[in-house]
Structure 1
Amino acid sequence: MSNKRRLWQIFGPVICAFLLLLIVFLLPWERTFSKQSVYEAANSQTTTVFKGVGMKREAYKNGYIPFYGSSELSRFDPLHPSVIAEKYNRNYRPFLLGGPGSQSLAQYIGMQGTAKQLENKKAVVIISPQWFTKQGQNPQAFDLYYSPLQTTMFLLNAKNNKTDRYAAQRIASMPTVKSGIIKNCLKKVARGEKLTGWDRFLIKNRQRMLTNEDNFFSTFQVRNRVDKIEQRAKLLPDKYSQAALKKVADEQAEMHTNSNNLGIDNTFYRTRLSKKVLKKLKGSQKHFDYVKSPEYADFELMLNQFAKQHTNVLFIIPPINAKWMKYTGLSQKMYQESVAKIERQLTSQGFENIADLSKDGGKKYFMEDTIHLGWNGWVAVDKYVKKFAALPNKRYNYDMSNYYYSKSWQNKTGVKPLNLSNKDSLKDQ
């Protein structure tokens, strides 16, 4: 047997398999998703779903509302928005997008593949003022949520404007975006350069492969929380009322916070706050500052994407556990200044649906732990979401300003709270 034949017998099958795989991933193909798989994905909060496109597009066409947020969405007590929507057969279902560290920049990229599906529709954003640190987007967390697929979509639609140049510069600056065609094209867009025909050809082929990967693997690693939602829903009264929900919230919270005097869930307190940890954290946050941050400019990217889609958005600003603030020395004055700055950025551009819960951290059973909404917090959120979801879909126009990308705004202090007459209108209707 000749050496060539031996080599072919050894490497031939590998080469053929590789070529076949390449052809499969380069050929465009579509996939449909069952209602059950979409429902599971909507509540899974996996990075696979977050970074994908197909599943979200299918969901938004069928009555799901994206809930953009972070780790608070993982707190599945009986008053969680997904549980309430299921129990009372609401005309919407939340599609949960985010987890620990999913800040504005990661969320912005994750919005690129669903612009058409959310045009003239609704979305909910839970803003965490804790994102607005001196550093802004955490690079390690960004790595978890970064979507090359949706970055290719951004690149193919990028224009020479402030938003796209700023977005390209910020994405390219993240360590997870390695050298290659995507990073090279991001740098070109950041400089205001037009992509060449060859650039677009390479990006389109990359996108086709990533799209096929998404279609292949989008249902893999989906965290099935359906049983959990159904079990939690059994604890809710059959007939909806705010008073009945508050009764359940009080009962559940009393049962789950009886090991400490901070109003913190027993499991969280036991596993995360040992005596040694608590001792270290006393007074540890007195110098925290959420007023100066590059996050304000990243947040503006999200707002511009909503404006581009003419999406009607409800913004929820949660509080921090008041007892925890006192223990760690976190300044309530500073926190309220950061809230005022966020609200000014929203309202000055036409985003007026705001559920400002930032001063409610001292209310009983409002928080589940140190910073995350809990039992009565979710009941308060539902007052807004229920009314908001009932509003008719229509085209919303916004008045966007490039000023909010500037260093001047990122570092601005002394922003006064706005007297928002309509801030509580959704709750009080």
Structure 2
Amino acid sequence: MKKYPAIIALVVSAIVFIGFLLTPAQWYKQHWTTSKLEKESVSLTDHVLKGTDIQSAMMRNKNFYPIYGSSELNKNDPFQPAMLLKKNNQNMFYVGKGGSTGLLQTLALGSQYSNLKGKKMTVLISPQWFSKTGMSESNYQGRVSKLQINEIFENEDIPMTVKKRLARRLLDFKDNKDNAFLKGYVKGDTSGHFVNPWQADSLQKIERIKAFKPVKRSPLSKRVAKQSRKNRALEPLEKKAIRYGKQHSKSNEYGIKDPYWKLLKKHKRYISRNHEFKLNSPEFKDLKILTELLDASGADVQYVVLPVNGKWYDHIHMPKDKRYRVYDKIDRIIKKKNPRASIYDMRSEDYTPYVMSDTVHIGWRGWVILSQHIQDHIDGTKKHHQEHKVQD
């Protein structure tokens, strides 16, 4: 008699599993309304980063302006663009988290290729990405969506040159080194699939089921949700950001927020950055794929190459001329591969006080300056594309 509950549980599990396999993925699809998308706009969760449905709905919704970036998006800063630029029918939508380097941006945006034409967006590029090794194996395994990769190779509108370049790059990672599909694609054999149709269907169902489950959102979500919708004059806010930066970085001469400086002094933050700013970084391969893809898609892209804390980098013996050679190469690639795009190279702010809130992340004043450029891009103007003159 004791065996029956176990047998019943096994039978029920088998029925549920078979039902999962047989039901169409369409049954699990959410209807992503504007209000639902607003709740996820700065949640920075995996189901946003890896989500094909939610990003597709956002791309098709005129109320959202995407910002693709990395760890800077996760900073709970009172001057984040999602705060400053929240207006009627205008919401910033963040895609990215720590480790979201150029390859992950390529996969997320490539999976949305058919929705990109004419879509205004900002893509943030961190010069620190351009390290000796580029994207790490562990970061690839933890961040990459096979479904997004499959969407790219299944899309016949994406230029073959882009997909071949991507296939070659993906083979650099251990997970793919024996992948017959990628090896064949590089050689011109486009038959087959990155993941077979049955697996792709299952992955899509899993993605959609996870999207129904409440998840912990970023601390920034609560702050943005409370923010009222109104037009804000940004230039006065820059002065406010300067005052805020001064108040919160009294412990050091580098404009680094006090809690982070305390960790630096205790050596709980890695100080050496000698692995960064490498002209032969694999990250340049990823930048070429990203920019070529976005150019072909017809997206209206503003690339922003983020600054660093110049005073701190000088202090740790990472000279400006070495850093700026990497900036130059980034700019050259963007101009060559996506000549129609706008570029805002923020290296001119490397030594501007309170543009950075720590050693590597933009904050405070920097967010206000960047928000001005984003609003200009939304409006189709170049009002703030000259070096700003606000006094400290």
The TM-score, its normalising length taken from structure 2, stands at 0.87
Aligned residues of 2:278 and 2:326 also touching (Cα < 8 A): yes
Aligned residues of 2:65 and 2:90 also touching (Cα < 8 A): yes
- In structure 2, the residue matched to 1:36 is 35
Change in CA separation of 1:310 and 1:26 when aligned onto 2, cut-off 3 Å: closer
After superposition, residues 264-303 of structure 1 pair within 5 angstroms as: 264-270=256-262, 272-277=263-268, 281=271, 284-285=272-273, 288-303=276-291
**Within 2, Cα distance between the matches of 1:295 and 1:133?**
7
Shift of 1:153: 0.9
Amino acid at match of 1:319: P
Shift of 1:169: 2.4
Q: Residues 230-268 of structure 1, C-alpha deviation per residue, up to 9 Å, x if partnerless? A: 55x47x9x7622332112202221222122222111222
Aligned residues of 1:92 and 1:389 also touching (Cα < 8 A): no
**Within 2, Cα distance between the matches of 1:426 and 1:55?**
36
Change in CA separation of 1:160 and 1:316 when aligned onto 2, cut-off 3 Å: closer
- In structure 2, the residue matched to 1:424 is 385
Shift of 1:310: 0.3
**Within 1, Cα distance between the matches of 2:120 and 2:145?**
23
Shift of 1:176: 4.3
Amino acid at match of 2:238: K
Change in CA separation of 1:377 and 1:9 when aligned onto 2, cut-off 3 Å: closer
Any gaps of 5 or more consecutive residues in structure 2?
none
Q: Secondary structure at the match of 1:218?
A: helix
- In structure 1, the residue matched to 2:56 is 57
Change in CA separation of 1:22 and 1:257 when aligned onto 2, cut-off 3 Å: same
**Within 1, Cα distance between the matches of 2:225 and 2:321?**
41
Q: Residues 139-193 of structure 1, C-alpha deviation per residue, up to 9 Å, x if partnerless? A: 22222220111112122236783321221122243234597xxx43223212321
Change in CA separation of 1:286 and 1:426 when aligned onto 2, cut-off 3 Å: closer
Whether 1:223 aligns to 2:217 is yes
**Within 2, Cα distance between the matches of 1:286 and 1:52?**
34
Amino acid at match of 2:60: K
Aligned residues of 1:66 and 1:123 also touching (Cα < 8 A): yes
Q: Residues 325-351 of structure 1, C-alpha deviation per residue, up to 9 Å, x if partnerless? A: 122111210111111111111223414
Please, which moves more after superposition, 97-106 or 208-217?
Answer: 208-217
Amino acid at match of 1:85: L
After superposition, residues 70-81 of structure 1 pair within 5 angstroms as: 70-81=70-81
| Superposed CA RMSD | 3.2
**Within 1, Cα distance between the matches of 2:12 and 2:159?**
47
Q: Residues 400-419 of structure 1, C-alpha deviation per residue, up to 9 Å, x if partnerless? A: xxxxxxxxxxxxxxxxxxxx
Aligned residues of 1:325 and 1:331 also touching (Cα < 8 A): yes
After superposition, residues 28-427 of structure 1 pair within 5 angstroms as: 29-63=28-62, 64-86=64-86, 89=87, 91-157=89-155, 161-177=160-176, 183-196=179-192, 199=193, 203-220=196-213, 221=215, 223=217, 225-230=220-225, 233=227, 240-270=232-262, 272-277=263-268, 281=271, 284-285=272-273, 288-349=276-337, 350-391=339-380, 424=385
Aligned residues of 1:49 and 1:222 also touching (Cα < 8 A): no
**Within 2, Cα distance between the matches of 1:161 and 1:134?**
28
Q: Secondary structure at the match of 1:116?
A: helix
Shift of 1:423: 10
Q: Secondary structure at the match of 2:302?
A: strand
Change in CA separation of 1:79 and 1:219 when aligned onto 2, cut-off 3 Å: farther
Q: Residues 368-419 of structure 1, C-alpha deviation per residue, up to 9 Å, x if partnerless? A: 1001111111111122111100129xxxxxxxxxxxxxxxxxxxxxxxxxxx
Shift of 1:52: 0.7
- In structure 2, the residue matched to 1:411 is none
Please, which moves more after superposition, 19-28 or 141-150?
Answer: 19-28
**Within 2, Cα distance between the matches of 1:354 and 1:318?**
11
Amino acid at match of 1:206: Q
How many residues get paired?
A: 383
Amino acid at match of 1:304: E
Aligned residues of 1:160 and 1:192 also touching (Cα < 8 A): no
Shift of 1:51: 0.4
Change in CA separation of 1:239 and 1:177 when aligned onto 2, cut-off 3 Å: same
**Within 2, Cα distance between the matches of 1:227 and 1:423?**
30
**Within 2, Cα distance between the matches of 1:353 and 1:306?**
12
Aligned residues of 1:51 and 1:146 also touching (Cα < 8 A): yes
The TM-score, its normalising length taken from structure 1, stands at 0.80
Shift of 1:97: 1.2
Q: Secondary structure at the match of 2:254?
A: coil
Shift of 1:114: 1.5
Look at both structures and tell me which one has the larger radius of gyration over its CA atoms: 1
Change in CA separation of 1:19 and 1:293 when aligned onto 2, cut-off 3 Å: same
**Within 2, Cα distance between the matches of 1:160 and 1:244?**
45
Shift of 1:70: 0.7
